[in-house]
Amino acid sequence: MLTIKLKDRIPTTDVRKKTQMINLFEYIKRHKWRWAGHIIREKDNRWRKRCTEWQPRSGKRDIRRPEAKWMDEIRKAAGPEWQRKAQDQRKGKTPTKRYILQWIDKVSK
């Protein structure tokens, strides 16, 4: 396709520009942030919101499950007040790119 070899040492960003491919990690994070904002803006009695915010009665998670929950990653990148930011649609859409870049920086380090 591009006849690029590993020994050419061309950065992946340049290859993505030439092939017009998107960064999959950034794409996933962008959609995760959008989905979190969508869930937070829903009414409290909706099934999706209740399942996302659910805590076990004992307060402990099962040993076989991962420690981090779905929302923990968003809270880590956006801060403790992320729900308030996401509820305001105008402000919720603005910081999306910034939070995605923070996620990418934290993972790449």
Report the C-alpha gap between 78 and 67 in whole angstroms: 19
Whether residue 47 contacts residue 53, with contact meaning beta carbons closer than 8 Å, is answered with no
Report the C-alpha gap between 33 and 30 in whole angstroms: 5
pLDDT at 109: 52
Whether residue 36 contacts residue 77, with contact meaning beta carbons closer than 8 Å, is answered with no
pLDDT at 106: 62
pLDDT at 103: 64
Give me the tens of pLDDT residue by residue for the chain, a chain 109 residues long.
Answer: 678 887 888 888 888 888 888 888 888 888 888 888 788 777 777 888 777 777 666 666 667 766 677 777 777 777 777 777 766 655 545 556 666 666 666 655 5
pLDDT at 91: 57
Whether residue 40 contacts residue 83, with contact meaning beta carbons closer than 8 Å, is answered with yes
Report the C-alpha gap between 34 and 84 in whole angstroms: 14
pLDDT at 12: 81
What does the domain layout of the chain look like in residue ranges?
22-51+68-109
